Structure 1
Amino acid sequence: MEGHFLTDRGQVRSHNEDSGGIYSNNRGQYLAIIADGMGGHQAGDVASEMATTLLEEKWRKNEGLESPEEVEQWLKQALEETNTSIYQHSLERKECQGMGTTVVAAVCTEDFITVAHIGDSRCYLYNEYSFKQITEDHSLVNALVQSGQISKDDAMYHPRKNVVLKALGTGDFVEPDIQTINWENGDILLLCSDGLTDKVQDDELAGFIKSTNEIEEVGKKLIDLANERGGEDNVSLIIIQLETSVGEGEPSC
């Protein structure tokens, strides 16, 4: 597997409230995380950094997971424990009250991907058949779209498009959405914060992902495009491609 994490403060924000990374456990399996913090007085930085750090620590101690069921259970427990830690931290520190973070996390093995998310940070999968968003935003505008009150085009420009209905660390319990999908050699996974998807539409994302450029270069071009279109928010993304070495059948990292 080849993967790259990129993040940018954007053109307007004074600091970056996004966090993330790609981490390996003792079996060489990968956990990719994007967290987009929220909260005043830079508390969003604290929430997103805590989410990434705590999940990384738990993952690096992991001895390896064999089945989708094991991965799904690990993600559920890890996110619930991380939620509790962030929420307790916010209660104990006045400057952190009300903080929280979105999170999208993907465990990548040679055979399957398990994705968990809370909030409106997204995961997409590109394969030979399509480029598809595989997470459903926990947001006000997505709820309005699903209920038929507004169209997807309307959602792009809705004045409350950044209102999330679920976040990590804002309460004593949160339930992530978790799903497992298969992937094959050459498939590409994209995880990103809404700083990207607010500025670059799905068909444009697909065009970049399908290009013949190296995936790190694709990521840089996407961030540049978001910034060219205003860059009002922090922009973060992870691109991971499943590749097997010719003649060996083993993943290349």
Structure 2
Amino acid sequence: MGLLTIGAFAKASRLSPKALRLYDELGLLTPARVDPVTGYRLYAPQQLEQARLVAWLRRLGMPLARIQYVRTLDAVAAAQEVRAFWAQVEADTAARRDLATFLVDHLSRKDPFMSPTAESLGIRYAALSDTGLVRAGNQDTAYAGPRLLAVADGCGSHGGTASAAAVDALKPLETDGVSAGSLLNVLEEVVEQAKQAVHDIAGSGPSVEATGTTLTALFWTGSQLALVHIGDSRVYLLRDGELFQITHDHTVVQSMVDEGRLSPEEAASHPQRSLLVRALGPGADTTPDMRLYDAQREDRYLLCSDGLSTVVPAQDIHRVLAEVSEPEQAVRELIARANGSGGPDNVSCVVADVLELQQ
């Protein structure tokens, strides 16, 4: 079979002549020959497979620059790149879905502080942070108050200062009035303040790019808990005897698990398991996850740094939360478990129980 005209090739490849001309200009799909007199583009039949791949990748929404890169790969590597791209699309979609859910719930409710449920529920809480058995200093910050629960895990030359500053930026939530109508805006504002506080601290140190922090917080509205989460600190919920991890780790390794490139078992021992893809700090992706959770009587929430979750198995965390009734005793027991497993990192825990208020 001889060369195909651009019209015939467009029909066979399911790409429009306009798209083919654009891809030629970008060097993405170069014609086999251009007629020197007419300027007509002619394509070889062997180019159809590549053209169809480009068409399918465009239907996925992959950017042209990334398609150009995929074309340079062998089949196995190209498949991995497509898997990675789609995992990112799903993560982005999940983040937008969470925000949409937040907005729908947020806009459809009356002020939670005025609801009957808000008058009957409250929280009791405890927070504790420990240096562990290996680190020279503690870069974690743990905080628990009537409305705010937070854990931050700093890193770098000023990590401890950064984690404390990030939590301090959220503390006005304890005293400032927050209505249902302003909740989302207020949360966004305090997160921006936390970002700026960490950036200012990182900028004052000798190693700007090395200073940052995670930030995971729950804000109690009286009937709901609003989550703000960035990094690999975690929130667990114990409800009806079952333990659920309600945050998603923003780490390189978790991204590889999401993409199918690592199993959860492999991720647990991966040498880069603590490398973050999102955090508060210069040069990092600082986009937080934000969600709303309806509170139920007898719910128990645990916020913790990775100094607990990486060394204490989930079943042991579950056992402590289910069996130790007082939050103060529970945080002490969890930290003791982490140190009993070698205490390789700073460890911070906040435990909060949702309970019915006495009338």
- TM-score band, normalised by shorter chain: 0.7 to 0.9
Aligned identity (percent) is: 30
Spell out the pairing of 1:1-253 with structure 2 (5 A cutoff). 1-24=123-146, 30-40=147-157, 43-56=158-171, 58-63=172-177, 65-67=178-180, 70-94=182-206, 98-128=210-240, 130-171=242-283, 174-246=286-358, 248=359
Per the alignment, do residues 227 and 106 of structure 1 end up closer, same or farther by CA in structure 2, a change over 3 Å counting? same
> Tell me, what secondary structure is at the counterpart of 1:242?
strand
CA positional deviation for 1:210: 1.1
> Could you list the per-position Cα deviations for residues 185-238 of structure 1 after superposition, in whole angstroms to 9, with x for gaps in the alignment?
110011000000011122221121111432221211111111011101000010
Mapped to 2, the partners of 1:231 and 1:96 lie a distance apart of 28
Q: CA RMSD in A?
A: 1.8
CA positional deviation for 1:129: 6.1
8 A Cα contact 2:277 2:285, kept in partner = no
8 A Cα contact 1:84 1:172, kept in partner = no
- Unaligned stretches of 5+ in structure 1? 25-29, 249-253
8 A Cα contact 1:80 1:175, kept in partner = no
**Which runs of at least 4 in structure 1 moved beyond 4 Å after TM superposition?**
none
Per the alignment, do residues 72 and 130 of structure 1 end up closer, same or farther by CA in structure 2, a change over 3 Å counting? farther
Report which stretch shifted further, 151-160 or 171-180.
171-180
Mapped to 1, the partners of 2:182 and 2:314 lie a distance apart of 31
CA positional deviation for 1:172: 8.0
> Tell me, what secondary structure is at the counterpart of 1:21?
strand
8 A Cα contact 1:110 1:242, kept in partner = no
Mapped to 1, the partners of 2:244 and 2:344 lie a distance apart of 25
> Could you list the per-position Cα deviations for residues 41-95 of structure 1 after superposition, in whole angstroms to 9, with x for gaps in the alignment?
xx11111111122221x324512x233x633332222111220222133224435
8 A Cα contact 1:72 1:179, kept in partner = no
Letter in 1 for 2:179: E
Corresponding residue pairs, total: 237
Mapped to 2, the partners of 1:155 and 1:74 lie a distance apart of 36
Mapped to 1, the partners of 2:354 and 2:347 lie a distance apart of 24
Mapped to 2, the partners of 1:163 and 1:172 lie a distance apart of 12
CA positional deviation for 1:102: 0.4
Report which stretch shifted further, 236-245 or 168-177.
168-177
Report which stretch shifted further, 207-216 or 223-232.
207-216
Mapped to 2, the partners of 1:137 and 1:73 lie a distance apart of 24
CA positional deviation for 1:244: 1.2
8 A Cα contact 2:131 2:345, kept in partner = yes
CA positional deviation for 1:137: 0.5
8 A Cα contact 1:80 1:174, kept in partner = no
Q: Which protein has the bigger helix share?
A: 2
> Tell me, what secondary structure is at the counterpart of 1:131?
strand
8 A Cα contact 1:34 1:236, kept in partner = yes
TM-score normalized by structure 2? 0.63
